[in-house]
Structures are given as structure tokens and as C-alpha cells.
Chains A and B, each alone.
Chain A
Amino acid sequence: MNSEFRERQPIGVKNLSKHGHTTWLPPVRKIKQQISTDPTLTPEYTHILGIPEFTRRATQLALGKDSPAIVESRVFGIQTVGCTGAVRLGAELLRSCYCSSSSWTHVFISLSFLEDSLAGTFKAAGIEDVQYYRYWDAESNGVCVENMLYDLENAPEQCVVVLFASGHRPTGAELSQEDWKRVAEVMKRQLFAFFLMSAQGLCSGSLEQDAWPVRHCVSLGLELLCAQSFSHNFGLYGERVGHLLCVLKQNLLAVQSQAEKLVQTLWSCPPMEGARVVATVLSNPAHLESVKAIAERCMLIRERLRERLRLLGGPWQWDHIIKPGGLYCCFGLNTQQVDFLVQKKHIYLLPNGCLNVSAINSRNLDYVAESIHQALSSKR
């Protein structure tokens, strides 16, 4: 065994460049340098709900500038501490606002084999009753939309449903636009949509296309929350740049005032640096081209991985590797197979054989493909 491959191969969570490091979007360094030398910027507390320029741009990014919700002033945004912060705040807002008027108690999350921090976040906010809808189907290595629709149709009315726009974590599996239309119809029957959009632009390469599920629901007149992350698509992991989008039918100012109260009990006001960078990037369309490059690289890796696995032979199908876009991909490996990869091949991946394709590069592609092939062949 070539000793070079004894190095750890982490294939977990973050978007990595071809050299295996997390990387900023190209304009970010220059913008950060500008910020550090700008004499007009003051260190004052940001507004409780965040930098207005950032929330405005993040809202436009998600919904599109001409969104009816924006035009009708039925939407507001809150800068949060990463996507987790957005989910936590959204959960707290639902618990304090939604509870008061209805007999609702539940939140529905997709059945997932990732560690349960998503459920834990809702529970910490006081929403104890977390239930699951079926999503990933091991047989087809993709989403079984019939199962999902069945579970949602049979969910109690007025429960909150967590939906994944721009790629599901950790499987990467996504719904087609036709599937989303069917989901949205079901949501209309008094289910509340809480979207997680953690990698807008990285799935299809198009910011608009990745946000389509959210925009479609808004066009149907639904109220919703959407937690956005700028970690993956901007490489700003350590800066914790998140956004909670709130689309309502009415009573905007009152809900906004309640959100302010909740932010005060969590972090008072959000950190400035990362949001300032994002606001600057979003104000210049040219900068956004680099997001597309990340998506294209991920797609290229998927194709090369599929090709490599196909050439290694065996009875397995590999089309599901290239079907979704974005960072994640799932092989449906069992526990022994995952153990084998971790212990014997030093390939660290997520449970069930989900992995982050951006961690695969020209140096480790062959090794990873061969190892997966080995895992599937020897330990069925």
C-alpha cells in the first residue's frame, strides 16, 4: 500500500478546493482587506436584526428581486449566527408565536441518518414533539417522493415541516420541480414550511434554480420561514453568516418585534464581519460567477467518480452519483462497510456512506473509488 494513502482522507462536511482546503470565494480576500482599512466603518453594535444591507440582499437572493412578497412588503430578514442560528431562532419564533393561536405542537423533519442536531435544535427551542417523514430510499438510492407525500398528507394539520432546498444533507438527494409542485400542494393544507437552504447556487450552478422550491411556495401565497447559510457557497465557515427569511401574510411589524426580543436572549446582535463581506459580494453580480465554478467542479468530480467506479466493474449502478448536484452524495453503505473504510482505508465519511464530493480530488480519486469498490465487494 502506498504510504501516501495512509493519510487521513476526510470526506465529511465542508466544500474543499482541489488542494483539499476550504477556500474563500475569490473576491472575499480583497473585500476583507478593504474592510480592515476602511476608516468610515465603526465598531458599533449592529442592529439587533443585523446589517440592513445584508438582510436586504440575502432576501433578494432567496426570493428574487421581483418577488411578490418583497413588492408587497410581506417579508423581513434576520441576520443570524450561521444556519444553525437561523434554525434555532426560527424554532424559537414558531414556539412563541405559532403556539399561541393554534393547537399545533409538531415539527416534521426528514428521516436522516445524520446526528440529530437538527431535532435537538427544535427541542432546545421548546418544541418537544419531533417526528419524521420518509425521504431517502436505499433501494433506488434517491428520494422516494411517494413515501414523502404520503407522510405529509397524513401529518396532523398545522404542523411545521422542515424542507430542504438546494440539496439535502447528508444524502444530496433532491426533488425535481414536478415533485416540489406536488409537495407544495400538500403544504397548502395547513402545513407550515420551514426551508433549509444551506448551499444556494452549489447544486445546479444556478442561484435561481436552487431557490425555486422556496419561490414556488411564495408564489402560491404560502407563509414560510427559510434558513440560509453562506458557509459553503462563500467559504465563510468560520464567520458564521446565516439568514432567517420570514414570509408572512400580515402583521409583519409585530412578528418582527417578537423576533427582536428573541434575538436579545440568544446573542443580542449578530457578528458583523462576515455579513459585511457577503453584502458587498451580493451587491456585485460579477462576483457571483465564482459560485457557479464551485458547482461545476462538484459536477465534474461526480462524473469522474462514476466513471472510475464503472470501470472497476461489479453489478452496481452509479447513476445516482451524478443525478443530484451540490456537495453531497450517498452510497447507502452499511455500518460494516463504513467501518471498513474508516478503519482500514482511513477514509472518513458520514454515516450510511454519505460523502462530500468536493473533498475528492485528482490525488485521491482513484484511491477513494477503489476503496468504495472494495467495501461493496467484500462485505455485503
Chain B
Amino acid sequence: MSIFGEVPQADPVAVFKLTADFREDQNPSKVNLGVGAYRTDEGQPWVLPVVRKVEKMIADDHSLNHEYLPILGLPEFRSSSSKIALGEDSPAIKDNRVGAVQCLGGTGALKIGAEFLRRWYNGTDNTKTPVYVSAPTWENHNAVFSNAGFEDIRPYKYWDAGKRGLDLQGFLGDLESAPDHSIFVLHACAHNPTGTDPTQDQWKQIAVVMKRKSLFAFFDSAYQGFASGNLDKDAWAVRYFVSQGFELFCAQSFSKNFGLYNERVGNLTVVAKDQDNLNRVLSQMEKIVRITWSNPPSQGARLVAITLNTPELFAEWKDNVKTMADRVLLMRAQLKEKLKALGTPGTWEHITEQIGMFSFTGLNPKQVEYLVKEKHIYLMASGRINMCGLTTKNIDYVAESIHEAVTTVQ
């Protein structure tokens, strides 16, 4: 008898199952609008030219040692990454109250932040402290916080399906009714999966309520630079909150904007009231890292640190990022144009109003099923599409197929 005899089969992760199904599909017109990774116009993954360059530099550098990184990670990576999020001239950095932990991708950063908050945020047992995630949100948010020990994970209103935009009143209402000191997971930019961000003015309203009720801001920043093509613009919300005196966490991922998906490069930026508080927080985070992965992998962090800290490479990277963002913007514009030209019922402004990799098309589950089964176009059941999956070669087919789905399937 196996001790594992009673273990139930877990459901597969939806987005990976989608890609697996896509791979098995033999139809020549198939299109993958599922998983969130950048693709070129040829439909291929893209190794950023600056990344290629720095990879080679690292491989040829005989002076590099191969030691364990410090538990909190490569120092020059941590500091330059936090600067990217908060700005070169951030007053908080100047006040020495910003620190960071190098983590295994954005997931790892959320994990360490969550584990810390559960132990130390508001008293020493936060298992009952409510954690709010947007409705909808990245499907892994729930699991990360729940596995870190939080028992009360609630949605806050976010997406208004009727008007295909932000439900600000609902959002503000949930902030007001949340118990004081609740934790809110905020998407810094390019909300996943809706692509809908609050405006600057709306962020200000959100911040006012959060300040008044001492709600904790835990930003998830996976697309900085990728959303608008401009790093500073994409970091506006985080920087605004810092300027309003919030102590906060920001989980940064370099998977998308560096194309380093499989090297797991992430950074948990911590903004505290002062250096003394910061040091104590980092000391506890160090203990948490030690019993999770001991110390982080060096390759990706080294690459990012060299790039961010070398002016010519930094400029080249910003350019590469803009290339990706621009292609996405182009596909958005073209898709909207084609749907309008086809006379597809409904409004399609949200395609260009939304930002980042994803678009919440507004297609219903039946229409999504039609696209997957009949047209071999793979998208999430929620109607989320990855704009990077569109190319000049397949955009007509996709537009026509969406038209068919909307007009023939209710």
C-alpha cells in the first residue's frame, strides 16, 4: 500500500493546458493567444539583443566567482532593480529606507512578501488578516497567499464587464468596507488579465482611502516598461504611493521586460518608514529565504545588474523594451481597425484603451469555445487574449474569426 494512495489528481493549470492543447493541434491556421510571453512578428520567442550580448560577456568572464550569492541576493541587482521601480531620484532611496530581496521571479517575490506579512505584519499571527485580490486577477495570486498561511482571501471589485472598464465605485466601496489593516494586492500597471489600469486620478482616490484605513499596499509589477514603452510612466502608481508616505512592498518581475522567463529573475522592493525598520524587516526576510531556497540563482540577476548599471547597455535595453511595447500597440490598433471595418457588433475601443500584453475581449465562454474548437484559436475561457500572439500574418484570420464568433454564437 502506498502512503500516497489517497492523493487526488489536481486540475491542470489552465494556461499551460491551453498551450499543451495548442501544441497538439495539427491545424495549420492555429493561433496561440494564451500564455503570457512575448512573441515576434514571426511568432517566435525573442532573446533581447542586449541580453544576448551580456550573456556572452558573463560566459567569457574568467574573473567571476561561482560562490553562493548572499541570502538576500546580488547587492547590485537589488539596488538597481529598486531604482527602476522607484526612480533614480527617489527620496525614499535617498533616505535609506528602501531595501530589497532578490527572488525567484515575480512569484518568488510575492511568496517572500506573503510569508513575511503572515508572520510579522500586524501582530505575529496574520493567518486571519484579510488579503484582497482584484476580481479577476492572475490566477496564481490566490494560491501563493493561501499557501503562505492566509486563510481569508477575498476579491475586490475591479472589472466592469458591462462597460468593459474599471469598476471604480465598486473598488472604492470594497476598500471602504475592508477591515482596517487588510492587505491589498495591487497591479502596478498592465493589469493581468484585463489590461485595464486606474488613471492617475483614480489611483489618487484609491490611495486616499487606503491611507485613511491603514490598508497595506502590496504591488505586483510584472510589466514595467512593457505597458507603455516607458519605464517611468509604468511606475507612476508605485511612486505616487511612496510619495504619499506609504510603507509598501513591490514584487518586481524581469521575466517579460528582459525576456528572461526561465532564469527566474525577481526583486521584492521594501519601502519602510526609516532605515531601522527596514533593517529589521530584511533580517526577518533573510530567515524566511533561508528555509525556502537558501539563496537565489546568480545567472539572471547578474545579467540584469550589468545591464542596468552600464549606461550604453541600459539605453539598449530600454530600446529593446520599447520595440516589444510598440509591436503590441501596433497589433492593438490593427485588431481594432479590422473589427470596425468588418462591422463586428459591439464596441471595440477597449482593445486600444487597455494596456500591456493582455486584452479582455469581452467574449463569452461559448464564443471562446467556438474560437478554440472551430477556428483553432486558443484563448483563455475568460476571453483574455495575449496581444503578442497576433502577427501581421494571422491578424486577419483572428479578426474574421472573432467576427464570426460574435455574430453567430450567443
Contacts and interface: CB of A to CB of B under 8 A. Distances in A.
Partners in one complex: yes
Interface of A: 14, 21-24, 29, 32-33, 35-37, 42-46, 48, 81-85, 88, 92, 97-98, 100-102, 117, 120-121, 123-124, 158, 192, 223, 231, 235-240, 248-251, 253-255, 257-258, 260-262, 264-274
B42 to A, nearest CB: 13
A275 B8 CA distance: 30
Contacts of B294: 81-85, 117, 240
A75 B140 CA distance: 27
Contacts of A239: 66, 297-299
Interface stretch (B200-208, B237-245, B259-267, B277-285): B259-267
A48 to B, nearest CB: 7
Nearest to A120: B291
Contact of B68 (A237, A250, A272): A237
Contact of A257 (B9, B104, B287, B291): B9
Contacts of B56: 36-37
B99 interface: no
B4 A97 contact: yes
A73 to B, nearest CB: 14
**Which 9 A-B pairs have CB atoms at the shortest separation, nearest pair first?**
A238-B298, A84-B294, A267-B104, A249-B2, A265-B147, A268-B107, A272-B262, A36-B59, A81-B293
15 contacts: A22-B66, A45-B261, A82-B294, A85-B293, A120-B291, A121-B291, A238-B66, A240-B295, A257-B12, A260-B13, A265-B140, A268-B107, A270-B104, A271-B297, A271-B299
Given A35-B59, A117-B290, A262-B147, A21 B65 contact: yes
B300 interface: yes
A191 B12 CA distance: 31
Residue among A249, A254, A268, A273 with max Cβ neighbours from chain B (10 Å): A268
Interface string B35-79: 101000000111100010001101110000111110000000000
Contacts of A261: 10, 143
Contact of B59 (A33, A84, A237, A267): A33
Contacts of B66: 22-24, 235-239
B229 interface: no
A347 B297 CA distance: 29
Contacts of B69: 238
B66 to A, nearest CB: 5
B34 interface: no
Contact of A238 (B12, B60, B67, B262): B67
Given A33-B60, A42-B45, A45-B262, A265 B111 contact: yes
B7 interface: yes
Given A33-B60, A98-B4, A249-B2, A269 B262 contact: yes
Contacts of A100: 6-7
Nearest to A94: B3
Nearest to B253: A268
B225 interface: no
B292 interface: yes
A251 B2 CA distance: 8
Contact of A260 (B10, B259, B260): B10
B105 interface: yes
Interface in B1-45: 1-13, 16, 35, 37, 44-45
Contacts of B290: 84, 117, 120
B198 interface: no
Given A117-B294, A238-B295, A267-B264, 8 more contacts: A43-B51, A83-B294, A84-B290, A117-B291, A236-B66, A254-B4, A264-B13, A267-B293
B193 interface: no
Contacts of A250: 2, 4-5
B124 to A, nearest CB: 15
B383 interface: no
B389 interface: no
Nearest to B148: A265
Contacts of A48: 13, 16
Contacts of B108: 266-268
B67 A269 contact: no
B113 interface: no
B151 to A, nearest CB: 13
A80 B129 CA distance: 30
B37 A240 contact: no
B406 interface: no
B296 interface: yes
Contacts of B143: 261, 264-265
Contact of A266 (B261, B288, B292): B292
A238 B261 contact: no
Contacts of A120: 287, 290-291
A113 B149 CA distance: 30
Contacts of B146: 265
B305 interface: no
Nearest to B9: A254
A271 B68 contact: no
A274 B297 contact: yes
B144 interface: yes
Given A24-B66, A45-B37, A254-B10, A273 B107 contact: no
A10 to B, nearest CB: 11
A268 B147 CA distance: 13
B106 to A, nearest CB: 8
A11 to B, nearest CB: 15
Nearest to B293: A81
Contacts of B6: 100-101
A85 B292 contact: yes
A97 B10 contact: no
Nearest to A126: B149
A163 to B, nearest CB: 16
Contacts of A101: 3-6
A266 B111 contact: yes
Residue among B66, B67, B288, B290 with max Cβ neighbours from chain A (10 Å): B66
A123 to B, nearest CB: 8
Given A43-B45, A254-B10, A258-B10, A268 B105 contact: yes
A88 B3 contact: no
Interface in B123-152: 140, 143-144, 146-148
Nearest to B16: A48
Nearest to B11: A257
A192 B108 CA distance: 29
Contacts of A102: 3
Residue among B47, B58, B294, B296 with max Cβ neighbours from chain A (10 Å): B294
Contacts of A24: 66
A261 B14 CA distance: 12
Given A97-B7, A250-B2, A88 B293 contact: yes
A248 B300 CA distance: 35
Contacts of B45: 42-44
Contact of A84 (B2, B10, B44, B292): B292
A359 to B, nearest CB: 13
A48 B15 CA distance: 12
A340 to B, nearest CB: 28
